[in-house]
């Protein structure tokens, strides 16, 4: 049962991060750039700990865009 739970969580995580490569997702409207970066930092740590290298790269790209565009003015997705 634990193995199934971990596998499900890993699949959910990977699918959730993979969608960030598309224009099919949005940040919660009430999140500011600090909350977005905190979420991405925690997600990046999880991706690295579990050796999800593709997802780690996606997360880094989204973080870079937030940092480049500055205080909360990031668009809702990485590609337009």
DSSP state at residue 55:
H
Distance of alpha carbon 45 from alpha carbon 14, whole angstroms: 13
pLDDT tens, position by position, 8-49? 999 999 999 999 999 889 999 999 999 999 999 999 999 999
Distance of alpha carbon 5 from alpha carbon 45, whole angstroms: 19
pLDDT of residue 16: 95
Q: In residues, how long is the chain?
A: 80
Q: What is the pTM of this model?
A: 0.78
């Amino acid at each position: 049962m634990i193995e199934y739970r971990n596998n499900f969580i890993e699949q959910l995580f990977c699918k959730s991060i993979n969608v960030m490569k598309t224009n099919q997702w949005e940040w919660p409207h009430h999140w500011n750039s600090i909350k977005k970066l905190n979420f991405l930092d925690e997600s990046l740590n999880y991706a690295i700990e579990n050796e999800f290298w593709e997802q780690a790269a996606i997360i880094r790209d989204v973080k870079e865009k937030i940092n480049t565009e500055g205080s909360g003015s990031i668009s809702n997705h990485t590609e337009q």
